[in-house]
């Protein structure tokens, strides 16, 4: 059975297909959404081995796996390779892979010949429920994550929950931090459901995986429809990410995005509690749920408060050099939901104090 959700944006709308086994018949989606355009697949070297026979006739460009490849240099290499392949303005990009691939391939598609259609085929949980939806594309710089990028909506997103059953256990678990984030910012019932069904999800049970993806996609779609270009409410999707991006960059990406988000969610909930913006005990509830999914909740000792603060000062949400965070008001609701700004200024001394807590 296929579930189709629509995501509206200023240029129209696109479908998100959630269908078990859809990776065995991807060509029908390429034909449906790319028409007679000349498609090219962009994937990392590991995931490229999983590209189904159905797409064997489409040329592919690959790059080394991992966040270290999400750079301007890799963008240059991929776009030069597309020129070598003779891809013109009648081309189309198929982004086949996880969050790094979706961001990099989307950025390539948005800039190559001033914009080509991109079909997102996410293969990780993080990409399925978050990165593939909403049109954000980016590459990293030495200063931090996602500091160079565009908004470029896909023509469609094709999600096959069966792929999750074959992911390495750690990679699957780290994607769950984004699911918990979605629940925390907008869906208290989903937060409770995650806690009740943690063992079923980790097993992994196919029916629970499909429901997890469907519910998380619905949250992400609702937020990005309301605020396509992050002028307002979309900032809530950055909950936990001010701290997380600093942890990732300072660890030179030895700590994965999902692990960093897990830590960031707990610490930013503590910030909200200390500022009197959040229900007392929220950080503890979040930490308990994250630990049910075997995710970290404290900053590694090697990452100092001063080093992390220096990274945070480069965050995209900042204004006038002031660190700002999207903060939780309680399970399922964000500060700003009743009116006012969706990000809050955080005092440097408070941030330094909480970053320096015993670990």
pLDDT in tens, 283-297: 999 999 999 999 999
Least confident of 31-40, 199-208, 334-343: 334-343
pLDDT, tens digit, for every residue of 136-179?
999 999 988 999 999 999 999 999 999 999 899 999 999 999 99
Confidence of residue 317 (pLDDT cuts 50, 70, 90): confident
Q: Given a cut of 80, is residue 340 above it in pLDDT?
A: no
Residue ranges, CATH 3.40.50.1970, the chain: 2-166
* 2-166 belongs to CATH 3.40.50.1970: yes
Predicted model pTM: 0.94
Confidence of residue 321 (pLDDT cuts 50, 70, 90): confident
Residue 2 has a pLDDT of 87
User: Phi, psi at residue 230, to the nearest 5°?
Assistant: 60, 45
Confidence of residue 352 (pLDDT cuts 50, 70, 90): very high
Residue ranges, CATH 1.20.1090.10, the chain: 169-355
Residue 257 has a pLDDT of 96
pLDDT, tens digit, for every residue of 62-73?
999 999 999 999
Going by the DSSP 8-state scheme, the letter that residue 164 receives in this structure is G
Residue 319 has a pLDDT of 80
Rounded mean pLDDT of the chain?
A: 96
Confidence of residue 219 (pLDDT cuts 50, 70, 90): very high
Q: Given a cut of 90, is residue 127 above it in pLDDT?
A: yes
Residue 190 has a pLDDT of 98
96-130 burial code (b ≥16 CB/10 A, e <16): bbbbbbbbbbbbbbbbbeeebbbbbbbbbbbbbbb
DSSP 104-127: HHHHHHHHGGG---EEEEE-SHHI
Residue 39 has a pLDDT of 98
- Specify the pairing of strand 60-63 against strand 38-44: parallel
Active-site residue list: 114, 136, 178, 220, 230, 234, 238, 241, 245, 257
Residue 358 has a pLDDT of 81
Residue 171 has a pLDDT of 93
256-265 burial code (b ≥16 CB/10 A, e <16): bbbbbbbbbb
CATH superfamily assigned to domain 169-355: Dehydroquinate synthase-like - alpha domain (1.20.1090.10)
The residue assigned the tokens 């961001």 is: 103
pLDDT, tens digit, for every residue of 264-279?
999 999 999 999 999 9
Interatomic CA distance for residues 324 and 316, integer angstroms: 9
Calculate what percentage of the chain has a pLDDT beyond 70.
100
């Amino acid at each position: 059975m296929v579930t189709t959700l629509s995501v509206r944006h200023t240029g129209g709308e696109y479908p998100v297909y959630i269908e078990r086994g859809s990776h065995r018949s991807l060509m029908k989606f390429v034909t449906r959404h790319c028409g007679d355009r000349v498609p090219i697949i962009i994937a990392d070297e590991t995931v490229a081995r999983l590209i189904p026979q159905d797409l064997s006739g489409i040329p592919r460009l690959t790059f080394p796996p991992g966040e270290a490849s999400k750079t301007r240099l890799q963008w240059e290499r991929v776009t030069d390779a597309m020129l070598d392949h003779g891809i013109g303005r009648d081309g189309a990009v198929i982004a086949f892979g996880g969050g790094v691939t979706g961001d990099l391939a989307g950025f390539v598609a948005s800039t190559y010949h001033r914009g080509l259609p991109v079909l997102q085929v996410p293969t990780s949980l993080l990409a399925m429920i978050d990165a593939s939806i909403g049109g954000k594309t980016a590459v990293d710089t030495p200063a931090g994550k996602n500091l160079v990028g565009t908004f470029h909506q896909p023509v469609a997103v094709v999600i096959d929950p069966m792929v999750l059953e074959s992911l390495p256990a750690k990679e699957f678990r780290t994607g769950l931090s984004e699911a918990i984030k979605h629940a925390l910012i907008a869906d208290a019932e989903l937060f409770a459901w995650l806690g009740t069904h943690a063992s079923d999800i980790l097993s992994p049970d196919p029916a629970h995986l499909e429901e997890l993806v469907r519910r998380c996609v619905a949250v992400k779609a609702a937020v990005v429809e309301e605020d396509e270009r992050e002028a307002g409410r979309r900032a809530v999707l950055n909950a936990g990410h001010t701290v997380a991006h600093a942890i990732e960059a300072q660890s030179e990406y030895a700590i994965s995005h999902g692990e960093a988000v897990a830590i960031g969610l707990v610490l930013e909930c503590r910030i909200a509690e200390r500022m009197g913006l959040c229900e007392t005990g929220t950080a503890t509830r979040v930490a308990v749920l994250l630990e049910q999914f075997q995710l970290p909740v404290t900053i590694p000792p090697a990452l100092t408060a001063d080093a992390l603060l220096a990274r945070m000062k480069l965050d995209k949400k900042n204004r006038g050099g002031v660190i700002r965070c999207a903060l939780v008001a309680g399970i399922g609701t964000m500060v700003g939901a009743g009116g006012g700004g969706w990000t809050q200024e955080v005092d440097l001394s408070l941030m330094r104090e909480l970053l320096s807590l015993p670990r």
